[in-house]
């Protein structure tokens, strides 16, 4: 297993219990879906893994999270990124005043000394997302929603992650764009040997590309099994 979340509890503002003994495991080079309604705790689970609870005054108060055999739930987010975990946040958070190419270079920050990888990574991203090629010098803020989603996934891949956390990649996109992006996610996982944990409300589409799935309800896992 590349990731093990072991019976964690997450509390916000010292009093609000959001996750109530969550456990899940992610196999290497797999796509795992985390499904559930709004408020079930899906995004909080991703933030617990990526170390992004702190800015929202949340913390893991029980249990532990292991990545490639190392405990990470007490590590700062920048160290977790360097270890190989990258979270793509909900809402297509591009750097609007930077070009597409500059956004991608920003994603390679943790690999910036590896110039060979930066060049190779750019070619890889433009290969997976050819729509971005004629827009590489265009400001990211002027891209369509689908193009922005492609860009943030590409930016994440520039960090050369072992585990990619995707939070609602289909949100606000047309069905044909959603299918394209989900197909590319599956291809990337297989070809680049990247594990993916996918939080998604479009359960049908998520299950089409996932190998395994967990269902959350009220801060707990209530069902899991092969997709």
* Mean pLDDT of the region 210-225: 96
**Angle at CA of residue 88, ends 78 and 53, nearest 5°:** 55
Predicted pLDDT at 112:
65
Q: Is the pLDDT assigned to residue 34 strictly greater than 90?
A: yes
**Which burial class, exposed, middle or buried, applies to 69 when counting CB atoms under 10 A from its CB (0-12, 13-18, 19+)?**
exposed
Element (H, E) at 212: strand 212-217
Cβ-in-10-Å burial (0-12, 13-18, 19+) of 189 comes to: buried
pLDDT of residue 103 exceeding 90: yes
In this prediction, residues 71-76 reach a mean pLDDT of: 94
- Sign for the CA dihedral angle at 56, 48, 42, 161 comes to positive
Answer positive or negative: Cα dihedral of 191, 123, 158, 181. Answer: negative
| Residue pLDDT, tens place only, 143-161 | 999 999 999 999 999 988 9
pLDDT band at residue 192 using 50, 70 and 90 as cut-offs: very high
Confidence of residue 163 (pLDDT cuts 50, 70, 90): very high
Virtual torsion, Cα 48, 49, 54, 60, nearest 10 deg: 50
Nearest-CA neighbor of 12 among 198, 223, 219? 219
CA 209 to chain centre: 15
What phi and psi values does residue 144 have, to the nearest 5 degrees?
-70, 170
């Amino acid at each position: 297993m590349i990731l093990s979340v072991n019976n964690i509890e997450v509390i916000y503002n010292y009093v609000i219990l959001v996750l109530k003994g969550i456990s899940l495991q992610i196999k290497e080079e797999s796509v795992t879906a985390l499904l559930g309604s709004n408020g079930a705790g899906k995004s909080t689970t991703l933030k617990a893994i990526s170390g992004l609870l702190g800015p929202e005054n949340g913390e893991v108060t029980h249990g532990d999270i292991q990545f490639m055999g190392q405990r990470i739930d007490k590590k700062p987010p920048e160290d977790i990124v360097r270890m190989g975990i990258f979270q793509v946040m909900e809402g297509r958070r591009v750097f609007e005043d930077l070009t597409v190419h500059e956004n991608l270079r920003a994603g390679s920050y943790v690999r910036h000394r590896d110039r060979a990888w930066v060049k190779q990574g750019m070619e890889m991203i433009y290969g997976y997302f050819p729509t971005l090629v004629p827009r590489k010098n265009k400001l990211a803020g002027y891209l369509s929603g689908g193009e922005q989603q492609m860009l943030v996934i590409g930016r994440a891949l520039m960090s050369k992650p072992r585990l990619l956390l995707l939070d609602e990649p289909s949100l606000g996109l047309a069905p044909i764009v959603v299918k394209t992006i989900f197909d590319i996610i599956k291809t990337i996982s297989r070809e680049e040997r990247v594990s993916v944990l996918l939080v998604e409300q479009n359960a049908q589409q998520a299950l089409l590309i996932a190998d395994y799935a967990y269902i959350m309800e009220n801060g707990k896992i209530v069902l899991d099994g092969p997709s």
